[in-house]
Each structure stands twice: as structure tokens, then as C-alpha cells.
Amino acid sequence: MFKFPKIVLTIAIGLSLASAFAQSTKYPGVGRDATPKEIAAWDIDVRPDFKGLPAGSGSVAKGQDVWEAKCAQCHGIFGESNEVFSPLIGGTTAEDIKTGRVANLTRTDFPGRTTIMKVATVSTLWDYINRAMPWTSPKTLTTEEVYAVTGFLLNLAGVVPDDFVLSNKNIAEVQKRMPNRNGMTTAHAMWPGKEFGGTSKPDTQNVICMKDCVPEAKVASFLPDFARNAHGNLSEQNRLVGQQKGADTTKPEGSTGKASTSAPVPSPAPAAPAKAADGKADNKAVMALLSKNVCTACHGIDKKIVGPGFNDIAKKYPGKVDYIAGKIKSGGAGVWGAIPMPAQNLSDADAKLIAEWIANGSQK
């Protein structure tokens, strides 16, 4: 008797809604409605049809300024750098812009694939720069800066002219000039749905064969001898007990048998710093600072990445705490190479702590 009206109600709702919104009321008290302000704060994605793209614009000229201040230290002045990430720009031609297919992608001898060679949709560039760049301080660019940097990259690739101003009004036209806009296919069996048409038939058809399946196997490829120890001593990367041991790759092939008469000793964790007890606490604080200020994105403790390794700075400026602290705060260019180091925003005390650590030899 009480059920009847409910059923009628359900049917009525079902009929009244053209789109099949399914709203569950099974879990009362769980979750609340999002406010428009909250949605605006988080709903930042931009689709290929430019749904989600905020109105605005940015010039190539402005983009160059932003690029050199915030992007070039990782990606290179022309987006060509291979130091930290794969190159962004290069490998496309004016002909590609006409055809929408990047010809170099068919060449097996072409040395690499840049972002602009691959990306088919300009929305992808805008969305990603907006959500995740600059790498060490994502989501800090203004809408104008995102338009400007996107335009600057497209200018480097010859997609838009030097005096171009990219905007929400002309971005659809720019899409029609993307060099690899016709370079994608969804005709494969690796999408877990039917939304793209595609195919459900896998592209390889191996069969179960149990006897005399292939001619006698010949080894066609294996690791060259000089790379034997490139991944470290493999005997330290296997358990001490078991049906096998790890190969002692510090020794040449074929003479591993008598690596040691004593049982192999477990190696310390590769990252574990084993240092003098006295300086340990300080080093820990410095390591935390290096991590917090993302110094290690560009400087290795004992190797060059984009900037010099801390060990090299230590060698060059032993004891010069104030000089190093000043450089951290002000940034610089030209001492270690062409790629500039931006001025770092951290307290004097923190800069000094890092500088002291470097000046004293930058020990882990």
C-alpha cells in the first residue's frame, strides 16, 4: 500500500528525465553538494573541443619572456634541450603543417620524437602547461601566461607567426595547423570499451604449440660485455639464500665461480647515506631543504644535471659560504653554462644552511 506511490514516482522520474541520470539515495549522510566556487577551483581540464578553456589571450612575445624566465632552465631556450626531459620542439616541417602528418615519424633513422612531432591536439599543450608547469611550481602561471607560452612553443615550431596572439577565439584555427593532427589512430584492441569503434581482435595471434615449434633458437641479442656491471653488482641484488645467487658482475664473465669464499654481504640501501655521526643531523636538515626547495631537480649531490653538481660547486668555492648563499638567492648565468639558474625564494637562514653545507664539501 505504501509501495505503490513510490513505484509510480520512480516511473514518473524515469520518464521525465531524457538523460539517464542515476542518483542513488542509498547512503544518506555521505557526501555533500560541491559549491560552484569549489568546482571552479578544481575543474581545470581542457578538452580537444576546447570545453573548459578559459577566455583569454597571450602573445608570442610575452610567451618568450615567460619561457626564458620559467621554462628554459629545463627545456632549453628553444625547447630543444634533452638535459632533463625529452625535447619539445623540432622534427616538424611546413609540409607537415599542410598534411597534418609528421613525415619524420615514418623514418626509422630519425633520432627521436619531440612533443610537437607527436601531439595531435593543441588543447593538450594548453591543459598540461596550465595544470603541471612549471615543473617545480605547477599551477602558478596566469591564464595569459599559459596562452603566451603555448603560443611561443607553436611559434618555435613554425605553426604560428612571430606576431601572433593566441586566444580562445583563434585556437580552433590553430588546431587546423597542428603538424601531427592526423597522426593518431584508435583502430586497435587495447581500449577497454567500444567508444572508439576500434576492433576487438588482438593484433598478434600466437598459438599453443608444444613440440618442434620453431627451428633451433639462435641468440640474436644480448647485453654487451662492457655493460656487465652497468646496473651495479647483481650479486648484491639477489637474496643471500635460495636456489640461485646473483652474478658477481664486478668480475669478468666466466670467472665468477670463486667470487668469495665467505657468504656475500648484504649491500646497504643504494640511497642510504653512511656518513660520520657528527654531521648527520645537519645533513638531514640540509637534505630536507634541498628537497623542499627542489634544488635537486637541477643539481645532483655528486653529478651535474642541468646545473653543476653540489660536489663541483664545493670544489670551486670551498669555504665561501656568503658567496654561495648570495648566488642561491640571486640566481645567475654563465658561470657553469648557458642555462640560467633562477633566483630562489627561500629565507636567508635556509640559504645559509645550504651554502654552509656546500662550502664544507657537500657530503651526503
Interface with other proteins in residues 21-40 (CB under 8 A) = 21-24, 26-27, 30-34, 38-39
- Which of 93, 170, 245, 326 binds other proteins (CB under 8 A)? It is 245
Q: Is the distance from CB of 38 to CB of 31 less than 8 angstroms?
A: no
- Which of 294, 335, 343, 349 binds other proteins (CB under 8 A)? It is 294
| Site size toward other proteins, by CB under 8 A | 134
Q: Please report how close the Cβ of residue 8 comes to other proteins at its closest, in angstroms.
A: 20
d(CA 82, CA 89): 11
Q: Which stretch binds other proteins (CB under 8 A): 18-26, 152-160, 314-322, 335-343?
A: 18-26
The dihedral sign for the CA sequence 16, 22, 26, 31:
negative
Residue 130 burial (10 A CB sphere; 0-12, 13-18, 19+)? buried
Residue 121 contacts other proteins per CB under 8 A: yes
Q: Please report how close the Cβ of residue 261 comes to other proteins at its closest, in angstroms.
A: 7
Is the CB of 9 or the CB of 294 nearer to other proteins? 294
Task: Calculate the alpha carbon distances from 314 to 86, 184, 277, 304 in Å.
Answer: 29, 49, 21, 13
Site for other proteins in 168-197 (CB under 8 A): 183-196
Pattern 190-229, other proteins, x by CB under 8 A = xxxxxxx-----xxxxxxxxxxxxxxxxxxxxxxxx-xxx
Buried b (16+ CB within 10 A) or exposed e, 220-230: eeeeeeeebee
Q: Please report how close the Cβ of residue 122 comes to other proteins at its closest, in angstroms.
A: 10
| Cell digits of residue 54 | 578559459
Site for other proteins in 297-316 (CB under 8 A): 297, 302-303, 305, 311
- Which of 14, 161, 197, 266 binds other proteins (CB under 8 A)? It is 266
Q: Please report how close the Cβ of residue 224 comes to other proteins at its closest, in angstroms.
A: 5
| Cell digits of residue 98 | 599542410
Residue 69 contacts other proteins per CB under 8 A: no
Peptide bond between residue 318 and the one before it cis (omega within 30 degrees of 0): no
Pattern 128-157, other proteins, x by CB under 8 A = x--xx--x--xx------------------
| Cell digits of residue 153 | 612553443
Residue 111 burial (10 A CB sphere; 0-12, 13-18, 19+)? exposed
Q: Which stretch binds other proteins (CB under 8 A): 15-23, 280-288, 323-331, 338-346?
A: 15-23
- Which of 257, 278, 281, 338 binds other proteins (CB under 8 A)? It is 257
Q: Is the distance from CB of 219 to CB of 156 less than 8 angstroms?
A: no
- Residue 127 CB coordination number (10 Å): 20
Which residue in 80, 79, 88, 63 sits closest to 164, CA to CA?
63
Q: Please report how close the Cβ of residue 251 comes to other proteins at its closest, in angstroms.
A: 6
Residue 345 contacts other proteins per CB under 8 A: no
Q: Show the CA angle centred on residue 243, arms to residues 237 and 245, nearest 5°.
A: 30
